[in-house]
Amino acid sequence: MHVIVVTGTRSLRREHQPVISRRLKKCVPAELAIQDVAFMSGGSWGVDTYWALEAQRLYPEACHILAAPSSPWNEKGLLEAKWDRVVHPLGGYRGRNAYMVSQAHQVEGFPLKPEANMPRSGTWMTVRMARRREEVELKVLMLDG
């Protein structure tokens, strides 16, 4: 199973949605059948929620995994989502991010601003973790670059 992880800002605005949707439509490797792909979301507000719901709408035959942190997440916004698997990594947001990167073949990152402007960003934390795993394909699209 080819696992595609999303990480992104909680500050999602309407004008960001087409950018994210376009990337979602292009991110599945052409050589893979959609049944061999899993989309994993960390369940945060903003990009995580938008991507997860859009992936379920576009690719219902793919596997959809929620990595729900032990810290607060968008439980209400994702209530109606259809998950094939729900995991509960320990260690709060950091533990959830580390788990997702450990499972990933591909990480799609959507930070709001450059890393230097976001010293305490969970999105950038996840991107840095993915950079350290050479076997992970990483794509970062700045939303307010």
Residue 145 included in any domain: no
pLDDT at 117: 61
Total tally of structural domains belonging to the chain: 1
Q: What residues make up the domain containing 83?
A: 2-140
How far apart CA 60 and CA 74 sit, in angstroms, is: 21
Residue 2 DSSP one-character state: E
Structure confidence by residue, pLDDT tens digits, 40-99: 999 888 999 999 999 999 999 999 999 988 777 777 777 778 899 999 999 989 999 999
Please report which confidence band the pLDDT of residue 116 belongs to, taking 50, 70 and 90 as the band edges.
Answer: low
Residue 106 included in any domain: yes
Mean pLDDT of 111-117: 77
Residue 103 included in any domain: yes
pLDDT at 118: 64
Look up the CATH number of the domain holding residue 18: 3.40.50.450
pTM: 0.92
Residue 120 included in any domain: yes
Residue 17 tokens, joined: 């949605």
Where are the extended beta strands (E) located within 24-135? 37-41, 63-67, 85-87, 106-110
pLDDT at 103: 98
Residue 46 included in any domain: yes
| Whether pLDDT at 145 is above 70 | no
